[in-house]
Amino acid sequence: MPHFSHKDINALEHLYKINLINSCSGYKSANLIGTKSAKGISNVAIFSSVTHMGSDPALFGFFLRPTTVVRNTYDNIKETGFFTINHVQESILEAAHHTSAKYSANISEFDVTTLEETYKNNFWAPFVNGAPIQMAMEYIEEYPIKANGTILLIGQIKNLYIQDDLLETDGFVNLSKANIIAINGLDGYALPILKTRLEYQRPKNLSETKS
């Protein structure tokens, strides 16, 4: 079983290291975050760190580095207070991945990819047309992370739109019905198939257990 110590990891070549460490958290969500600057230039960028933080209030967080390509996303959210989260299905994968290229702030990724922007209910930020799940998000707060200079940015759902056939009677959203993608590492894309839903678990009667 290959083994890397802390010291081994530090000594790895850069690309090997980021491939390795990015794979080791497990599968990641694939989301396009849409924003628009105060001047009206739209932006869309792929993120793999959007994480559920709580349902009441409905909060999601994601991590960004202000010094890289995601500066446009961060700047636009700080200027306007709003963004969208849109899920990536298999059919838009290549265009979604291309949004990771470093375009300057005066170029909209909607103009250089096949992704189309769309607007709903007078919300400031653009949605990705046809995305199976679309969320209008309001900035709530942020935490600068001392350990590595990233920022945790937290937003709350203002409006949520879901493709008809995904929503089940108990509120569960079946992501695999829309061919929504999961991310493996830095550049791997996987297609998950729902296998099972398991029941709420209560402690076993200890006489039933192996001990």
Please give the residues from 25 up to 64 whose contact with a second copy meets the rule CB under 8 A: 25-31, 48-61, 63
H or E element, residue 86 = strand 82-87
Per-residue string for binding with a second copy, 108-147, x by CB under 8 A?
A: ---xx-x------------------x-x----xx-x-xxx
Figure out which of the listed residues 66, 78, 81, 93 binds a second copy, where binding follows CB under 8 A: 93
Q: Name every residue whose Cβ is closer than 8 Å to that of residue 209 and which is 6 or more positions away in sequence.
A: none
Query: Applying CB under 8 A, does 174 fall inside the site for a second copy?
Result: yes
Cβ proximity to a second copy: between 79 and 94 the closer is 94
Nearer to a second copy, 59 or 80 (CB): 59
C-alpha distances out from residue 191 to 107, 126, 176, 177, Å? 31, 26, 8, 11
CA distance 87 to 130: 10
| Helix intervals (H) in 37-122 | 71-80, 93-98, 109-112
Stretch that binds a second copy, among 36-44, 70-78, 106-114 (CB under 8 A): 106-114
The owner of tokens 């739109």 is: 161
* Interface residue with a second copy, options 39, 40, 171, 207 (CB under 8 A): 171
In terms of CB distance, is 36 or 87 closer to a second copy?
87
